[in-house]
Structure 1
């Protein structure tokens, strides 16, 4: 019951209010296959909304909705800042991919994607793979992130990790006056498809890397990819965060950077591959007040979307790699804008992305016949 002056919202009206920034939110259900999914299209100002499909055992539908709304908004900003002519969208499939994924479920999802007539283009994300996208593609043309056997680029973690490295190098330039990582201690949290590749890049650049993953086997595999040492395994998260780090690179799920952690973190730079790293508003301000440089997550982890977007034109690995290497220059522009405007790097990245969405999106007012 409403106790204030505003009338109580009905459930449907509440959903519209929750997704008020979004153009379209689609709830998908196929009882035969067990599919329960949500597709959120945040913006098509720059083009079709591109964003991956996350397959996760959410605690409830509310958590899934919150995640897809947040992630799809982030994709609009990520694609805009990366210079892509693509809008932002995201999908989530509710369930345990190890138990619930099936050909029928993935194909049912593909049919829902196809029903949107190209407004949304899907790809792989946490819990889905390039092989899954090959199955989805049997029902829709609007899918990327496919396997090399089917004309795709394969695992998007390759260029995501490369882009995060560019962000760390640009951040080192600003924080220390040099991009030389020799002797620096860098903590990588999360040793999945991005984290483990980032570990190898960092060791190749002379850094000592401290790795933590909730799955000790994943951390051990990351160390196994590196020859000649240079990798330390933290026994638990407390030991990992207590290590004397120069850079903290969150590469697991989002929300790891809380206000409490920001107030105690030893690192001078935060730069990693995870989405939505800041757990709550005001965390970046705490970091800035302590002199810690935060590299906006959607700026530096854009290598993956650059890779899958390149497939839409017929994948060219050299072209995609060159664009991912450009993340370093974009980071420099963000940091310069932040200094000129006296704002945080996160606010500067938002400003640049919003400017591009507004200016290029406005071109749609020019009618093209046919």
Structure 2
């Protein structure tokens, strides 16, 4: 017997999406609390964030002139329907993969049915309705162990990681480890051949830091994203660091791996200062035009790591190791709010109190603000 699909009302979706945006609870916790799949929560959160600007925009659908004949009225209704479809399709046309297309569907759109949206996106309805199972607690514990091992051995791919874990008594195979590492956005560090073409919509910029001497604060900034385990579930952390002083300029956490919180951190960092060069890896969050346009508007040069070259962004990788071994692994946070306050205390300590050996035991804030004295 086919399982009956739940039709959640807009108020329920809004409540769940707003909780996800607040970031206090992980997606896994919200999934268990409301009895819905994590994919739906990610979708609703993204829909709410993307739809907010539309609240302040005027409608573009032509209206039926008063006193016209019924035939003219029907024509205007058809034009209005086509305008709605074209506007909707234009907004969603950047999505290329099946999962991204699924996130574009708006189940309660007032003018477009799910069938029509799927047709416009070239997505089968079976693919839209498919819902994978939520992550099991044993997989969350395994992901935490993988994170620890990866910090010590970043050159471990899924094969070596699976073998290493089996030696430690874990009954795992390579496919399972491969899936979890992909979910955690972890990739083995080694030079790779060019096996696939880049997304034509995402320009990849050259690496500008080779043989470059960093001479002053705000010469080079860089950023990255890392997985942060908690007692129940996990979050993602992004930070922007100044290469010269190792000063953390801005940081943020999110319960979903999207580009919105990366862009928010970048805007916050650029409010008072700006670097000459900004370096990132080739992750989709950073190659997105929405991200690079912020840097272009600020007249900042964009630099990107070579594929598979984590050492091109070595200072951020070193920061993640310090954050996790000096703080994350020493605590077991219950929710995102506790994690945020804990990381706030740590980064205040890191910037203002923690001596940095490579800086002659000076604090990063002392070196970063030295030129302002």
TM tier, smaller = under 0.3
* Higher share of residues assigned strand: 1
State TM-score, norm by structure 1: 0.26
Q: Which has the larger radius of gyration?
A: 2
Question: TM-score under structure 2 normalisation?
Answer: 0.26
